Amino acid sequence: MNGGVYDPYCGTPPDPADLFVQWNFDPILIIFITLTGWILYRRAPTARKKTYGSLALALLLVAFVSPLCALTSSLFSARATHHLLVTSLLAPCIVFALGNAPLFSRIKTPLLSSAFFLVVLWAWHLPVVYDFALSGTWQYWLMQLLLILASLFLWNDLLSVRETGMAAVVALFAATQMALLGALLTFASRPLFAAHFLTTESYGLSPLTDQQLAGLIMWVPSALPFLLVAVLKLMQLLTCAATPAGRA
């Protein structure tokens, strides 16, 4: 859709002066988030898990209701921030809150979940697919739901106690993919996403600078949670191996 018509779900690119009044009160979205919050609260069995559920609800509001949603129509770096919230913060909070739910307890397929996450992550950042996601409401939500599902399945495997070794490998794999994607965006010699060729200047950024900032967000902050899990899982694995039972 290079040079085509964009109809982003989050609206037309906002003027910076009007950004902070650009809240998204889509009634269907509000109902969905309300139901999600109710499910998270009811299904979380402990106060600690309810706290994670509350964090997940707050992240949903920031990602899809706050002016960040509108800003993603203007800045690719805002889109990268949005993806950071979904893949690296929202998904683990939901898994922490609902980790004992039947769906999450039965689905533990590290290789499949990592492949699913890889495909969705890279697809989102292909210019032609990115244009597709900004071409209408159902296209946007198709890509968003795929990203959320892929992130949930991946974090479900990462946080599985019984898959310590595999979880460490999968976490390192995810961190590497985030870093590689971020590096490619940071060092690209030209802007890649036509949707933002004319939307960044009012925020004091060229399209290329905006893309480089997005790359840095993907490279470091987005990869850090996965890297942290990898380190913790490796430490857990080494601790188990050092015990008499681990040496038996």
**H helices, E strands: number in the chain:** 13, 0
Can you give the pLDDT at residue 157?
86
Can you give the pLDDT at residue 160?
73
Can you give the pLDDT at residue 64?
98
The pTM is what? 0.91
pLDDT along the chain (248 residues), means of 10: 74 96 98 95 88 96 98 98 97 88 67 93 97 97 97 88 80 95 97 97 98 97 95 87 60
Can you give the pLDDT at residue 73?
97
Task: Report residue 227 as tokens.
Answer: 């890297």
List of residues 6+ apart from 195 with CB closer than 8 A: 6, 8, 130, 131, 134
Cβ atoms of 65 and 27 closer than 8 Å: no
List of residues 6+ apart from 53 with CB closer than 8 A: 37, 40, 41, 43, 44, 93, 94, 97, 98
- For residue 159, how far is the Cα from the chain centroid? 16
How far is the C-alpha of 22 from the C-alpha of 70, rounded, in Å? 6
CA distances from 184 to 16, 122, 175, 218 (A): 28, 11, 14, 10
Can you give the pLDDT at residue 197?
97
Per the document, the length of the chain is 248
Helices (H), 44-100: 47-64, 68-71, 76-84, 91-98
List of residues 6+ apart from 22 with CB closer than 8 A: 11, 14, 67, 69, 70, 71
